[in-house]
Amino acid sequence: METVVAGSPGEKEFHQAVREVARSVMPVIAANKAYAEARVLERLAVPDRVIAFRVTWVDDRGAIQINRGYRVQMSNAIGPYKGGLRFHPSVNLGVLKFLAFEQVFKNSLTTLPMGGAKGGSDFDPHGRSDGEVMRFCQAFMNELFRHIGPDVDVPAGDIGVGGREIGYLFGQYRRLTNRFHGVLTGKGLNLGGSRLRPEATGYGTVYFAQEMLATRGDALAGKTATVSGSGNVAQYTVEKLNEFGAKAVTLSDSGGTIVDREGIVPEKLAWVKELKNGRRGRIQEYADQFKGATYLAGRRPWSVPCDLAFPSATQNELDGEDAGALVKGGCLCVSEGANMPSTPEAIDVFREARILYGPGKAANAGGVAVSGLEMTQNAGCMRRGRDDVDRQLQSIMKSIHANCVRFGREDDGFVDYLKGANIAGFTKVADAIVEQGV
């Protein structure tokens, strides 16, 4: 860790992510001379390549705007680089390195041949017109196109990058290269996208919770759930919870949290989708729209009593105090839709309380898994039906869960899913690195 911190000063999210994996896999490395000699973990903690560039574009007033763009290609030991693009003012190199590092282990867990990467920009799409977003995406791709390709690096969406942005990015890539192929995933159906890709992360997170509950003879039906965020992952988490007969009672955005004790039923969820994906408004409006709902300005959902929690907004959005409130409120299962939403202190609280805790790299891997399926569909010029993709998604989530149990079960029967996910994800990549030499 000393070398990692010295080599990436100030990148605290990256240090946090590496420390968390190192803690789980050190015993495995100590027991396996080949991993230690090949210095596998040290190698994985330095990106293969970091690309940083300026993005210059013109806003609706005709003024020139300048943003920073990045792509962190962390490891392609088991397949082409793969991971989302994030457009958010908080984006910096440290955040993208943490996300790219996590992505290596997540992608390995899916059992599909995908390496790990992440990219993005400090561009803030909030309040920007479609035209401005398009010009920004085009300017971003003017540099990124040199570094990606269907068997090189295949970006997808993340915070601030959904179907609209992927469409603009894909269009510019196609114009620049004169190639129509699967260089991005999360594309619309007309561009060769996969059915169920928008739903996959949220649905997968709920499937993972279902698997965790089943280990204790429990199920989702009748449970009350808190969900944070109100974007892609949060919306489809609520949708799947409703299908399973559970009740989601919160959603949030960077302004605050809405609480609806009667449940965010399908009609209300349809309204949220229009608010967030259509009008791009604030979640606060929900409390004006639906009687009985309240808005907690500047607050997160974790003080609301629940059986299940689905953090689905951003990193470090759930701290030790929040975790304490969740456990006190009766929460028995946390399934992370976001990447690294729980702080190390929060994870300690969950462990101590022996509740079911599914870390993001396992619980939210359904999104990248269906992206992997989208790549195979594009490569084979074919298309899978919705039920087929859903079956594959469920089967992948089951296999990720089984792997976490295999590597994470402790002597007293408790499953440490974080340890299980880290060891299972690491082992496959480590073996591939050893096999390929220096």
Name the site residues for ligand NDP (rule: CB under 6 A): 90, 157-160, 162, 201, 229-234, 253-254, 312-314, 337-339, 364, 367
| 73 vs 314, beta carbon nearer ligand NDP | 314
Place of tokens 């299972």: 424
| 142 vs 374, beta carbon nearer ligand NDP | 374
Which token pair is 222?
């009748």
- Nearest distance in Å: CB 414, ligand NDP: 26
The CA distance from 100 to 81, in Å, is 9
The catalytic position among 82, 97, 106, 118 is 118
- Residue 223 is among the residues annotated as catalytic for this protein: no
Indicate the angle between helix axes 197-214 and 366-379, nearest 10 degrees: 130
Contact present, 183 and 112 (Cβ < 8 Å): no
- In this structure, which amino acid lies at residue 90? S
Q: Quick one: which of 401, 436, 404, 435 has its CA closest to 421?
A: 404
The CA distance from 118 to 84, in Å, is 5
Place of tokens 């988490």: 237
| 142 vs 210, beta carbon nearer ligand NDP | 210
| 57 vs 87, beta carbon nearer ligand NDP | 87
The CA distance from 432 to 430, in Å, is 5
State the residue number with the nearest CB to ligand NDP. 231
Place of tokens 């992948």: 396
- In this structure, which amino acid lies at residue 414? F
- Nearest distance in Å: CB 277, ligand NDP: 8
Indicate the angle between helix axes 130-144 and 163-177, nearest 10 degrees: 50
Residue 33 pairs in a beta bridge with none
| 172 vs 252, beta carbon nearer ligand NDP | 252
Q: Which active-site residues does the annotation give?
A: 118
